[in-house]
Amino acid sequence: MSEIKANGNLHGHELTDLPVLNPGDWFGKTWLIEIGGSYSSLFLIVEANSLSDAIDELADNEKYGHLIVVEDEYLGDYPEDDRHYGPSGQVLDLDHLMAYGQEGVEIPFPCRYHGEGLPDEGVLPTEFEHVDSE
């Protein structure tokens, strides 16, 4: 299956073609992660059991993890007492990260998945069936 993208609405602003990390792996529990720090933010949908797990999924993601993982050469800028750690022991910089979603609901951040083989109107994350390519 091709790459899955998502569309959603944040405070009245339509968000389209958002990359989806972990589609189909957590029963449609989607979280919106915003990584800012310059003129425009990067928005990602992460499917995970909780917000904390969504940040862990992002930290370990090959394509986007570098956006929050601190490179070894900059570790001195992060005092030991103020560090946040990722699932693989990496130091995370969460200063420019915002997350959206409501704990305790079926779809924490409502969105629709789009991609090859999906209906034009997309599907709810809870209706998406993950297909592993063999």
Q: Using an 8 Å Cβ cutoff, are 46 and 30 in contact?
A: yes
**C-alpha triplet 110, 41, 25: angle, nearest 5°:** 40
Contacts of 57 (CB under 8 A, 6+ apart): 21, 22, 46, 47, 48
- Give alpha helix (H) positions in the chain: 51-59
With a cut of 50, say whether residue 133 has pLDDT above it. no
Task: Note the pLDDT tens digit of each residue in 13-26.
Answer: 999 999 999 999 99
For the CA atoms of 103, 106, 100, 32, the dihedral, rounded to the nearest 10 degrees, stands at: 140
**Which strand ranges, in their side-by-side order, compose the sheet holding 13-21?**
97-100, 30-35, 42-47, 13-21, 5-10, 111-114
pLDDT at 32: 97
pLDDT at 37: 63
**Confidence label for 134 from pLDDT (cuts 50, 70 and 90):** very low
For the CA atoms of 66, 68, 72, 78, the dihedral, rounded to the nearest 10 degrees, stands at: 170
